[in-house]
Structure 1
Amino acid sequence: MSELIIRGGHPISGTHRTPGNKNAALPMLAACVLTDEPVTLRNLPLIRDVQTMLDILADLGASVDLHGHTATVCCKGLRKHVLSDALCRQARSSILFAGPMVARHGRVKVSHPGGDVIGRRRIDTHIDGLSQLGVDIETLDQYVFKRSDSFHGTAILLDEASVTATENILMAAVLAPGESVIYNAACEPHVQDLCRLLTRMGAHIEGIGTNRLSVNGVDTLHGATHRLASDYVEAASFVAAAVLTGGGLRIENIDPSDFLVIGKHFGRLGITLNMAEDSLYVPPQQRLEIRDDIGAAIPKLEDGTWPNFPSDLMSVSIVLATQAKGTMLFFEKMFESRMYFVDRLIEMGARIVQCDPHRVVISGPSRLQGTSMSSPDIRAGVSLLLAALCASGESHIGNAHIIDRGYENVDRELRRLGADIRRVGSK
């Protein structure tokens, strides 16, 4: 286990290049089992969750060749259908093997997936959708998925627009005979990027980027080479690092369309972003001030499925609000434990009222003081790191390996950009 030690007050400045999207990389690696031919993924983020998915593939018998940010995976002749219990418990994304494995190889056994503890994360939508396609499922100590003789495309209405459920059902549907229509599908940028990879592999998918995906199943898929789109959550986290420390930062390798939503809501906190074709610039020394709603009402920031504000950026936005003049209500609709990390911010000096597990009210600006804390999940962990960057004194953040699951060499990159940060212990 490792710990990050940060001395705050140093501007984050320079140029940062955004890596590939974590939430696109994980389902794409699972999609490799849909074909016997090699699949090459470029711009792959080098994070712990990606390594766990590669380890699962290798354990199943796949050939895995990783060079820098490029991985080539060949799943010809997989020798197993049981996923390692230890590996499944390291990453929630292990459940993404259910759809492609059962579609291509007829069966798979998956242990209860691990991942962040940010609330109740049900997989009922996965099970319901796959069963409608004709997959028999046992849910005792492990999840056992078996393709039945009735495996066939159908109309599926998701009871929630779950990203991973959409991806799982989609990856099964591309090999299911006939037409499948997925209603209330998630349409996040990383879901769209998965659709683009599957299309390169020979899948027939219509409605990409909408809440209605139409899939005409094919007999086989072939290999492909695909470059992952950039990670807008990672990019927005570095925007916050610059804003909180008064630095001027250029962020390269972004898709400006991803920031239509993010930029709008960051603007409500007084943040200015200068957008270019594939980059953005964060001007230095910004004075944050929360913009009241009409009638001087306290503004509210709430998350939701795309194109609403991403849940993964709620924790980051809460830290930003502690340094902004004014008051704002944050309403986390998707995960009831996402807000629990605010206790640490209160210990640092933030003025926060926690109304219930889903809502907090923040009044700023507050002068934060460094302290010792521990990372409870990926997004809360990086948010505590952001708070430490703008706090007075020294902060210690334990369980840094949890942050490593979603951010590539975050301490090294922040140090390169001017932070006083070091790691003790092994990753």
Structure 2
Amino acid sequence: MSHIKIRGGHSLHGEIEVQGAKNAALPIIAASVLNNGMVRLRRCPQIMDVHHMLRILQQSGARIMWDDGDVWVKTDQMDTVAVSSLDAGKMRSSIILLGALLGRGQEVIMPYPGGCTIGARPIDWHIDALRKMNVQIDLKENKIECKTTGLKGNRIELPYPSVGVTENILLAAVLADGVTEIIHAAMEPEIADLCRFLKKSGACIEGEGTERIWIKGVKTLHDTEYTIMADRIAAGTYMAAAAAVGGEIVLKGIHIENVRAVADVLVESGCGLIIYKESIKIIAPSMLLAVKEIETEPYPGFPTDMQSQMLACLCQARGDSTVTEHIFENRYKVVPELIRMGGNITVDQRRAVIHGPCRMHGETVEAKELRGGAALVIAGLAAEGETVIHGSEHIERGYQDICRDLGQLGAEICCITDHTERRWEDN
């Protein structure tokens, strides 16, 4: 198993290109099966979740080819209705294949989705939505069986703006008969990116980026090339890292609108920002200031996927900062590890208070999920001495090469895999 080693105490300087967005790439890859031909995706992140999704398509008959940062997906020979349990069970995003594969065919058998254990992720809303679109669904002990005589558009009102459910409805509706209207749709930038890809491929969609989306079914989609948006959570992670350890960094390829909530918190903590057309410069203060209240909310609110990283960052702030988690009940799994490293954090149900500044010290810790692992990287950068993070495979699910990126900014960080260590000076 691989692990990450960090020698803390170095400020960050320089610039990096932000990777393609994990949470946009996965539904767009799923959407590629709706076209009986070829799709080329530029800036596709080479991360574990993307590789799992591509393997699922390969096992269903698709042909995959990587060309530097681009991936080609050829789907003209896909004909398998059974989804691999090996890869689908490793990622929660596999659930959106239901809508895509039902749009392509009339039957799907797949295992229950896996992924990070950060809270309840019921599939009830996915099932309810697809049933309204003329899908018969049988929930077995370890698999989901779906059949349809033809997808039909419908008006679907969500009880909550769920990203995954919005994506599943979109993917099912594109080739369905009639018009589908999604009420209380998720408004995340990744939803808009999926819609832009689908529209470029020939879909008829209106209202993306709002809480109401209309999809008029079309007969077919066509081959297309598309550039995936930059990853706003990776960008936010590096912004939080720079704030925690000091320095000035430039993140290229990111738009401020997509990281506005994170940027606002960092400005409140004393950071300076210079905003360019397609890049952002963050300038850390000599001492971070506490942030009175952060509450995770659906977009455009503060993203739950940045909550753990901000906990680690605010350990360096002077005063008490408060974070309230409204999305997932188990997002504080990283807190005991941060406390082991010197963090002074108290948790009461969904509310965490960080009493800073904390003198962090290097420890051997374990990443238990993706964003908590990124938080431990930030803590390690700010700590005195050496930090070793086990479970780095969780981090690799969402960051293409966090060690390379931070190394380019001046961090002393390396990944050790299969007994082979990257030397510090290689950074």
Is TM (by shorter chain) over 0.5?
yes
From 302, 310, 315, give the equivalent of 2:303: 310
Matched, 1:349 2:350: no
Residue of structure 2 equivalent to 1:240: 240
Partners of 2:286 and 2:19 in 1: CA distance: 25
Q: Note the alpha carbon deviations across 1:163-210, whole angstroms, 9 max, x for none.
A: 011001110011111111000110100000000000011111111110
Matches of 2:285 and 2:154, distance apart in 1 = 55
Q: CA deviation at 1:423?
A: 1.9
Residue 296 of structure 1 is matched in structure 2 by none
- 2:323 corresponds in structure 1 to 330
CA–CA separation in structure 2 for the residues paired with 1:90 and 1:252: 31
Q: Residue 77 of structure 1: CA displacement?
A: 2.5
Q: Is 1:243–1:286's contact at 8 Å kept on the other side of the alignment?
A: no
3-state SS in 2 of match to 1:114 = coil
Displacement of 1:237:
0.7
For 2:388, which of 371, 396, 404 is the aligned residue? 396
CA contact (8 A) 2:333 2:368 kept: no
Deviation at 1:285, TM superposition (A): 4.5
Aligned residue type for 2:145: V
Match of residue 6 from structure 1: 6
Is the counterpart of residue 281 in structure 1 residue 274 in structure 2? no
Secondary structure of 2:289's partner?
Answer: coil
1:424 to 401, 416, 422: 416
The corresponding residue for 2:110 is 110
Whether 1:142 and 2:143 are equivalent positions in the alignment is yes
- Contact 2:244-2:314 within 8 A present in 1 as well: no
**1:405 and 2:406 matched:** no
99 and 395 in structure 1: CA distance in 2 versus 1, 3 angstrom threshold: same
* Equivalent residue, structure 2, for 1:28: 28
- Aligned-partner Cα distance in 2 for 1:261–1:235: 12
Q: Is the 8 A contact 2:316 2:358 kept in 1?
A: yes
> Are 2:271 and 2:283, in contact at CA under 8 Å, matched by a contact in 1?
no
The residue matched to 1:72 in structure 2 has which SS? Answer: strand
* Whole-Å separation in 2 of the counterparts to 1:177 and 1:344: 51
Given that 2:13 and 2:249 are in contact with CA atoms closer than 8 Å, whether structure 1 keeps it comes out as: yes
Which structure 2 residues correspond to residues 134-283 of structure 1 after superposition, within 5 A? 134-140=134-140, 141-149=142-150, 151-283=151-283
| Whole-angstrom distance in 2 between the partners of 1:411 and 1:274 | 25
CA distance in 2, matches of 1:185, 1:194: 13
**Are 1:59 and 2:51 matched, yes or no?**
no
2:243 and 2:266 in contact (8 A); partners too: no
Partner residue of 1:366?
A: 358
Q: Output the amino acid matched with 2:355.
A: S
Query: Does the aligned pair in 1 maintain the 2:5–2:413 contact within 8 Å?
Result: yes
**Equivalent-residue separation in structure 1 for 2:210 and 2:118 (angstroms):** 27
SS at match of 1:382: helix
Contact 2:203/2:221, CA 8 A, preserved across alignment = yes
* Partners of 1:3 and 1:396 within 8 A in 2: yes
Corresponding residue pairs, total: 418
Unaligned ranges ≥5, structure 2? 421-427
TM-score, normalised via structure 2 length: 0.95
How far 1:284 sits from its partner (Å)? 4.6
Deviation per CA, 1:256-298, whole angstroms, max 9, x where unpaired?
Answer: 211322211222222222111111112255421125xxxxxxx
Q: Is the 8 A contact 2:244 2:288 kept in 1?
A: no
List per-residue Cα deviations over 1:105-129 (Å, max 9, x = no partner).
1111111111111011111111111
In structure 1, list runs of 5 or more residues that go unmatched. 292-298
Decide whether the 8 Å contact of 1:103 with 1:147 is kept in 2.
no
User: How many Å separate the matches in 2 of 1:38 and 1:396?
Assistant: 43
Q: Distance in 1 between matches of 2:263 and 2:372?
A: 21
Q: Aligned equivalents of 2:381 and 2:172: distance in 1? A: 44
Spell out structure 1 runs of 4+ moving beyond 4 A.
none
Residues 19 and 45, structure 2, Cα contact 8 Å, conserved in 1:
yes
Give the share of equivalent positions with the same residue, in percent.
36
Q: Counterpart amino acid of 2:411?
A: A
Root-mean-square deviation (Å) = 1.3
Give 3-state SS (helix, strand or coil) of 1:336's partner.
coil
Q: Deviations over 1:225-252 (max 9, x none)?
A: 1101111110111111222221211111
Distance 2:100 2:340 in 1: 45
2:266 and 2:413 map into 1 onto residues whose CA distance is: 26
